[in-house]
Amino acid sequence: MIKKILLLFTLISFFQINAQVLYNYPKDQDFYEGGKKGLFAEMQKIVVKNNIKPCEKTEALFMRFIVYPDNKVRYVADNDTVAVENNKCLKNKILEVIKHADNWKPAESDGKKIPAMFSALFSDDLLFNNKGNEGDFVKPVYMYKDKESDIMKFRENFAKCFDANGYRTNADYSFTINFDVDTKGEAGFFYIENQSNLDKFNEMVVKCASNTKKSYWKPGYYKGIPVKQVFRMPIRFNAN
């Protein structure tokens, strides 16, 4: 498990630093004209124009894409292969529709266009503009000692796990950890905003945010279909 955790952390760090791809878009920047609403509205028009049909069964899939400076868009392969296989019809349809969307807006930093990721939960309801019910989406549930808990218990367990001794500084330090809870309830695809330059510190962050024998997640669901969700947790340390 530890090897898997560190491998995932290494992959996302390499992806972020060496490939120069932002984990998400800078604040106040949209990946598409009109943001997510603009993209979804455009996708619905494309579905009608191309006479695209719904899948034979209910499918829902969380997907990531990278928008490049030349306005090209590429799908980020998902290591949750079971979810991808179970929702193959929807995945193929989204990839086809995305090809026809053309109002992409590359991310910018210091006046230069740079590659950046965006993500969304897709379904036929979204493509065909069907109005959903409040209970269609069920959030992941944090489990501790086989009992349902909440995000505050997750934060508490994270704080207990995290040993800040040896990392004290003369100034306040804060970072934010982002991670997925996939359709099996596994925490992964870790990314640390404002990460430390100490590998052991970053590895401890990932370790403390990962599943253990006593704490894990029940996945989220959309209309009974397990779906991935992203969590974002700010952490702050005060100087002594």
Give pLDDT, residue 172.
75
Cα–Cα–Cα angle for 188, 25, 67, rounded to 5 degrees: 90
Clarify whether residues 116 and 186 are in a common domain.
Answer: no
Query: For residues 11 and 9, what is the distance between their CA atoms, to the nearest angstrom?
Result: 5
**Domain-embedded: residue 240:** no
Q: Are residues 94 and 26 in the same domain?
A: yes
In a domain, 206, yes or no: yes
Residues 148 and 224 in one domain: yes
The reply to whether 1 falls in a domain is no
Query: Do 35 and 115 belong to one domain?
Result: yes
- Which of 136, 154, 186 is the last residue before a domain boundary? 136
176 neighbors 235 (Cβ within 8 angstroms) = yes
Distance from C-alpha of 188 to C-alpha of 63, rounded to nearest angstrom? 15
Q: Kindly give the confidence (pLDDT) of every residue in the chain, 240 residues in length, as a single tens digit, with 9 standing for 90 and above.
A: 443 444 444 444 444 444 589 999 999 999 999 999 999 999 999 999 999 999 999 999 999 999 999 999 999 999 999 999 999 999 999 999 999 999 999 999 999 999 999 999 999 999 999 987 888 999 999 999 999 999 999 999 998 998 777 666 666 778 899 999 999 999 999 999 988 888 888 999 999 999 999 999 999 999 999 999 999 999 887 756
Q: Are residues 113 and 161 in the same domain?
A: no
What's the domain count of the chain? 2
- Residues 57 and 145 placed together within one structural domain of the fold: no
β-pair type (141-144, 215-218): antiparallel
Domain boundary among 96, 121, 136: 136
Shared domain check, 200 and 88:
no
Q: Is the alpha carbon torsion for 8, 13, 19, 24 positive or negative?
A: positive
Please check whether residue 114 is in contact with residue 108, taking contact to mean a CB–CB distance below 8 angstroms.
yes
Answer yes or no: do 98 and 151 share one domain. Answer: no
Phi, psi of 74 (to 5 degrees): -130, 140
6 falls within a domain: no
Six-digit token string for 47: 């579905």
**Inter-residue contact 39 to 32 (CB < 8 Å):** yes
| 208 located within any domain | yes
Cα distances (angstroms) measured from residue 51 to each of 44, 46, 91, 122, 132: 11, 8, 17, 18, 22
Residue 239 forms part of a structural domain: no
Instruction: For residue 180, count CB atoms less than 10 angstroms from its CB and return exposed for 0-12, middle for 13-18, buried for 19 or more.
Output: buried
Length of the chain: 240
Domain boundary among 89, 108, 136: 136
Q: Which of 189, 213, 214, 204 is nearest to 237 (CA)?
A: 204
Structure tokens at 233: 């947790």
Q: Is residue 223 part of a domain?
A: yes
Tell me the whole-structure pTM to 2 decimals: 0.87
Domain interval for residue 57: 15-136
Instruction: Indicate whether 19 and 131 sit together in one domain.
Output: yes
- Domain membership flag for residue 20: yes
Both 143 and 182 in one domain: the answer is yes
Same domain? 143 vs 79: no
Report the C-alpha dihedral over residues 115, 118, 122, 125, rounded to 10 degrees: -110
Q: Same domain for 29 and 131? A: yes
